[in-house]
Structure 1
Amino acid sequence: MTDLLIAPPPGTPACGPPVRDPDSGWVVTRHADVCAVLTDPAFQVPVADAGPAGTLAWLRSTVSRFSAPQRHPDRRAIGVAVLAALDPDELRTAAARLTHQVLDGAGDRLEVMSALARRGPLRVLAIRLGLADPDAAVPAVTAVAAAWHPGAEGPRIAAADRAVTALLAMLPPSAPDVAANRLGLLVQACDATAGLIGAAVRHGLGTPPAVSTAALLAEVLRLDPPVRGTRRVATASVRLAGRHLAAGDPVLLRFDAANRDPAVVADPDRLLPGRTGLPVTFGAGPRGCPGERHALALAGGVVEVLRHRCRLVPGPADHEPHPLLRVPTRLEVEVR
């Protein structure tokens, strides 16, 4: 099972020059073009609107992820400092230990997404970020993540507002920017880490032990990324791959397409752990994900144990409805 063909997930666009979509604005699919946008200061992340303190809107407007360029460096530095105090190897060990504990009490079968993928990494991270009640933090972070991206409906926003209030009460006293960016690390890890674990379980439990879990995760990130794309806005008139973009034009970068770009990846639909180069899923440039090593460590601790102790139960591969996230709803394994 080291030489599988994995078709592009439904909705993955083909690689080609930037095209204008009536709903998304400019859609960018080629690897070189995606990297160019990520590293060009003429393209910026859409800034979140502010809101009352302690609400979802306040959290989104205060984290570095959705901050304006002049606020982003200081807020990003908060998250980088927090992550610098966390040892990825220790995170991996803790996630593996928790996975063993869950499997030991699971009986013959386990539903991975609810029992592990959505709980284990968040609990491990919440403990190390100093939240007073890690078990209560997990559903609270999940509620915030469910309304994190634009388009969430009123009930989800209300639930997220309550969850933000609860999470802030669990944190040690700190300045608002510090508290927000600590919580932002948890929210950013929620769906992305769960989706990566789910994809690795779907595609990789049968890979031989000689294939390292790190190599497996890198290839799964390329072929079935949990974050399928990200948005930018052109802040000035600019040319991209022969196209003219006006100031204010929205841009959608499709990681799922860029990761299969035949110009940079040979045989792009084939699962071949150990390829050189990294997928673009974690971004690049000044907005690249600062927690890449930590996310891979948390997912790796879970997946490593599952590879040794479990076998995937065949079944439908449904995913949660979201235009830019890909997270399985249910994956069952047999415990050996």
Structure 2
Amino acid sequence: MSDPTTLIPPGSDTPACGPPILDDGVWWVTRHADVRAVLTGVNFRVPEAAPGPPATLAWLRGSVARFSGPGLHPARRAAAVAALAGCPPDALRRDAARLTAEELDRDPLAGSARGVPVRVLAARLGLADPAAAVPAVALVAAAYQPGAGPAAVRDADRAVAALVAMSPAEPPEAMANRIGLLVQACDATAALIGAAARYAPAAGRSVPTAALLAEVLRLDPPVRGTRRIAARADRVGGQSIAPGAELVLRFDAANRDPAVVSAPDRFVPGRSVLTFGAGPHGCPGERHALALATGVLDVLRQRRSTAPAVPANRPAVPR
């Protein structure tokens, strides 16, 4: 924005910050301090996924760190971190910029380069056919959260099998977490690029891409929140939380908490952001996702091709 303090209103579905609220059996947590306390607290767990038959969507969800409890999570997270070790962020950024430029050279009206992050990451993760991985990952991402219909699950099962076939040979759990990195990068990174592309024309070229992305992550996060289950009784924001209670943590509200962010609805890079989470389940690929988004967006801004990469609506809060 020519004036970096220009007002950017919150999304229509972003709740205001306040004490935790119990609504229909679910605690809604919106304040920055409360969200961080739950993310880092030992008494709150991610909803765990049951195991499933090999090379299926259920197998993938039941094997990744994202849906693992404290007993299995450390080893599975370590597998994801090990896979990312072969993906230096600077290399991802260069690869994403190069591939975006190539796509725009072929079709200047393409504008979005939506599949670039997954294709680049798939290549660095050693998948045999990175281009074919892009539509397969999209099918898995569409059914990754609970509640997908039978047809979407069947499509995802076939896509998981295809991704397994093109992945490097390694133990099943390591392979699942390698594929999980692609799935988590798919919609979230594309949505981040799309949101940043919408803000870029008003931000102007004086705002570096890294700063633009950081503030978009705060104001218009690609993932608005996450869920936790209380393993034991605890207190959050002055409220008593019973064992087994479900909590929805709203990143979009916490990122605008006036207790930690002055002028929370204004575009001013450099403020606290919770979008990548915190604590044991904080995203291990934060630097990698930002590198991929930076590579794509740098080229889009240079070409002045800033059409939205994704629809304006953001993903729902994951289960």
How far has the Cα of 1:208 moved from its partner? 2.9
Gaps of 5+ in 1: 326-336
2:27 aligned partner, one-letter code: W
Alpha-carbon separation, structure 1, partners of 2:156 and 2:71: 27
Equivalent of 1:303 in 297, 304, 318: 297
Tell me if structure 1 keeps the 8 A contact 2:21–2:27.
yes
2:243 aligned partner, one-letter code: A
1:110 aligned partner, one-letter code: A
Match of 2:148 in 1: 152
Match of 1:67 in 2: 68
Match of 1:7 in 2: 9
Percent of pairs with identical residues: 59
TM-score by length of 2: 0.95
**Aligned structure 1 segments of 4 or more residues deviating by more than 3 angstroms:** 311-314
Alpha-carbon separation, structure 2, partners of 1:294 and 1:26: 32
Alpha-carbon separation, structure 1, partners of 2:79 and 2:255: 30
**TM-aligned CA distance change 1:303 to 1:183, over 3 Å:** same
Alpha-carbon separation, structure 1, partners of 2:94 and 2:202: 22
1:31-110 correspondence runs (5 A) = 31-107=32-108, 109-110=109-110
1:1-26 Cα offsets, whole Å, 9 max, x none, are 23332211121111000001216x10
Alpha-carbon separation, structure 2, partners of 1:278 and 1:241: 19
Q: 3-state SS of the aligned residue for 1:219?
A: helix
1:80-107 Cα offsets, whole Å, 9 max, x none, are 1111221100100110111111111223
Alpha-carbon separation, structure 2, partners of 1:317 and 1:183: 25
2:300 aligned partner, one-letter code: L
1:298 aligned partner, one-letter code: L
Q: How many aligned residue pairs are there?
A: 315
Residue 323 (structure 1) aligned with residue 319 (structure 2):
no
1:302 aligned partner, one-letter code: V
Alpha-carbon separation, structure 1, partners of 2:312 and 2:80: 33
Q: 3-state SS of the aligned residue for 2:27?
A: strand
2:316 aligned partner, one-letter code: P
**TM-aligned CA distance change 1:91 to 1:208, over 3 Å:** same
Q: 3-state SS of the aligned residue for 2:203?
A: coil
Alpha-carbon separation, structure 2, partners of 1:159 and 1:192: 20
1:43-81 Cα offsets, whole Å, 9 max, x none, are 000100221111101100100110121000001001111
Moved more, 61-70 or 205-214: 205-214
Match of 1:20 in 2: 22
Match of 2:209 in 1: 213
Report the RMSD for the aligned CA atoms in angstroms. 1.6
1:214-247 Cα offsets, whole Å, 9 max, x none, are 1110000000000000000000111111101100
Alpha-carbon separation, structure 2, partners of 1:198 and 1:182: 25
Tell me if structure 1 keeps the 8 A contact 2:235–2:241.
yes
**TM-aligned CA distance change 1:129 to 1:317, over 3 Å:** closer
Match of 1:196 in 2: 192
Alpha-carbon separation, structure 1, partners of 2:86 and 2:24: 44
Tell me if structure 2 keeps the 8 A contact 1:3–1:272.
yes
Q: 3-state SS of the aligned residue for 1:4?
A: coil
1:17 aligned partner, one-letter code: P
Tell me if structure 1 keeps the 8 A contact 2:261–2:272.
no
